[in-house]
Amino acid sequence: MIELDGVGVTYHGSSTPALSGVDLRIEEGELCLVVGRTGSGKSTLLRTINGLVPHFTGGTLHGRVTVDGRDTATPPPRELADVVGVVGQDPRAGFVTDVVEEELAYGMESLGLAPEVMRRRVEETLDLLGLADLRTRPLDTLSGGERQRVAIGSVLTTHPRVLVLDEPTSALDPPAAEEVLATLHRLVHDLGLTVLLAEHRLERVVPFADRIVHLPGDGAAIEVGSPAEVMATSPIAPPIVELGRLAGWSPLPLTIRDARRRAAGLRRDLSELPVPTRAVVPVSDARQVLRAARLAVSYGRTVALREVDLSVAGGEVVAVMGRNGAGKSTLLRAWTGLLAPDRGLVTVAGHDPVRLSPAELVRQVALVPQEPADLLYAETVAAECDAADHDAGLPSGRCAALLEGLVPGLAPDRHPRDLSEGQRLALVLAIQLVSDPPVVLLDEPTRGLDYAAKRRLVTLLRQLAAEGRAVVLATHDVELVAAVASRTVVLADGEVVVDGPTSEVVVGSPAFAPQIAKVVAPLPWLTVDEVSASLEVAS
């Protein structure tokens, strides 16, 4: 179905190729997972499948890419729309209408399908992806995860033979991500759809994959094999695989069930060891940096937050979790003054953020939004960093040093538009931290980040908390929460339903428990690092 012969891609102005010498065959009805570190060329590989590379992105394409017998270098991408459906990292970039139902129908209109066929497929897709309640909603009122599901649905309605997805679950809560992946699995096995997807959260996707393509980057040869074959040697692996390596299990587990069956002895050993503890910062009035009191926010007739009472102290890392549309992003936007509450009180370091000038606000609070590209305007990475240093009144180089700590080796002359999602996120985070604000708010901060970049982010967040800053993460990444959050707040329907220490909140939660917690439950170990540290002390 998909063939790549000696494929290489070099972008204009870059001294090194984004891809080099890729040979790959993907059969009909196969779900193929593409993995690799941030910036290794995953998105570039996906974009060659429907001709976005080089027709849209530019650059030079070497070799040959064919899909269902068609050479993608010859026709423009629109002429492959009946064969290849693409969902990118930023779903908003692909929207062409204003309402959910219209967006689902637009692709079929472009293909000239009959109205009765369009109506039937729209209804099927609404049910398939759980979008029925959103059918008349304007797209600009949807949460990030809701937009992602609409983007996937708008492609599925055209019934393509190949579906290409770039980070399809990155903005979805765990249950919604499982629904989407189960849907893709069903389409592959029942309808013979060929699916090629790139994803950093391997803990979600590996059990569904037929094969894995590992792009090491740096010009090294790609590795292709079954999930078991690739995970046996890959430096990029989900937590249960890392746990299997630590415990010496062979073959390595790829599912929670497999790991649970192997872990009886490990659970017995851990049960005799001291429980890992995390420092809990008391939220006294003196330490309180963020506050929301009886906060209520609505978008028209849609209620986003209802009577929320929440305080965050300096030195805390607080995770805000909940299903898509629960109000997580709205809470962060209220704390940054981007929207005024309908009722209640919001303060940042004692100030009403709505009343602060932009210059005053950036000295008080840093925000990394779900779409970090919204904050990037300059022509190069270096120009973005220099502007951030200048605006903060600091000597040039401060922002670049922060960026190097997050994404080592990023070329300063790269255009922000040409960066991967993870690289753009790291750049925006560095820009926001230049002025040393006491509050750091991050909305889905691990979108596009590989495991190594995520570990660097965890180190940075711990450092920020140790410096006395208040750090709040609105996230669906349960592994990030397990690694860094001292406290977890769960929102549902705009209300706080749980607020407590992370270990207590996530261990008993089917939706929000990390992989290690599921394997060693009911014991309260959350990460491989915690298990390793406990066993090392015991020995």
User: Do the domains 2-235 and 288-507 sit in the same CATH topology, yes or no?
Assistant: yes
- Sheet with 2-10, side-by-side order of all strands: 19-26, 2-10, 60-67, 70-71
Report d(CA 176, CA 447) in Å as an integer. Answer: 16
One CATH from 2.60.40.790, 3.40.50.300, 3.40.91.50, 3.10.105.10 for 2-235: 3.40.50.300
Q: Which CATH architecture has domain 288-507?
A: 3-Layer(aba) Sandwich (3.40)
The band of 21, judged by pLDDT with boundaries at 50, 70 and 90, is confident
Burial 171-201 (b: 16+ CB within 10 A, else e): bbbbebbebbbebbbebbeeeebbbbbbbbb
Provide, rounded to the nearest whole percent, the portion of the chain with pLDDT above 90: 48
Q: Which of 1-5, 217-221, 339-343 has the lowest mean pLDDT?
A: 217-221
Tokens read off for 213: 């393509």
| C-beta separation of 499 from 316 below 8 A | no
Q: Which residue has the higher pLDDT, 419 or 283?
A: 419
Tokens read off for 92: 């908003």
**How confident is the model over 352-360, as a mean pLDDT?**
87
In one-letter notation, the amino acid at residue 315 is G
Tokens read off for 517: 């917690």
pLDDT of residue 52: 85
Residue 400 scores a pLDDT above 90 = yes
Ramachandran sector of residue 411 (left: φ over 0; alpha: ψ -120 to 50; beta: rest): beta
The band of 286, judged by pLDDT with boundaries at 50, 70 and 90, is low
Which tens digits make up the pLDDT trace of 371-393?
888 888 999 999 999 999 988 88
Residue 33, strand partner residues:
197, 212
Tokens read off for 293: 């009191």
pLDDT of residue 144: 67
Question: Nearest Cα to 101, choosing from 132, 140, 143?
Answer: 132
| C-beta separation of 53 from 62 below 8 A | no
Specify the DSSP class assigned to residue 333: H
pTM, entire model: 0.85
Torsion on CA atoms 421, 423, 427, 433, rounded to nearest 10: 90
Q: Give the start-to-end residue ranges of the domains of the chain.
A: 2-235, 288-507
**How confident is the model over 341-354, as a mean pLDDT?**
91
Instruction: Provide the CA 203 distance to its chain's centre, in angstroms.
Output: 13
Q: Which of 75-89, 241-255, 465-479, 511-525 has the lowest mean pLDDT?
A: 75-89
pLDDT of residue 142: 82
Contact residues for 142 (Cβ-Cβ < 8 A; gap 6+): 100, 134, 150, 325
Residue 37 scores a pLDDT above 90 = no
| C-beta separation of 256 from 519 below 8 A | yes
**How confident is the model over 331-336, as a mean pLDDT?**
94
Contact residues for 27 (Cβ-Cβ < 8 A; gap 6+): 1, 194
Which tens digits make up the pLDDT trace of 165-222?
988 887 788 887 887 888 888 888 888 899 999 988 899 899 999 999 999 877 667 8
Q: What phi and psi values does residue 127 have, to the nearest 5 degrees?
A: -75, -40
Question: Nearest Cα to 35, choosing from 189, 204, 236?
Answer: 236
| Element (DSSP H or E) covering residue 247 | helix 239-247
Task: State in Å, rounded, how far the first CA of the chain is from the last one.
Answer: 53
pLDDT of residue 372: 82
Q: What angle do CA 306, 312, 318 make, to 5 degrees?
A: 90
Q: Which of 56-65, 283-292, 302-311 has the highest mean pLDDT?
A: 302-311
Q: 72: helix, coil or strand?
A: coil
**How confident is the model over 249-278, as a mean pLDDT?**
92
Residue 283 scores a pLDDT above 70 = no
**How confident is the model over 110-131, as a mean pLDDT?**
90
pLDDT of residue 284: 57
Instruction: Provide the CA 9 distance to its chain's centre, in angstroms.
Output: 25
Which tens digits make up the pLDDT trace of 453-502?
888 889 889 999 998 999 999 999 999 999 999 999 999 999 999 999 99
Q: 37: helix, coil or strand?
A: coil
DSSP E strand stretches across 188-242: 194-198, 211-215, 223-225
Q: 245: helix, coil or strand?
A: helix
Mean pLDDT of the chain: 88
Residue with token string 């102005």: 13
Report d(CA 179, CA 340) in Å as an integer. Answer: 34
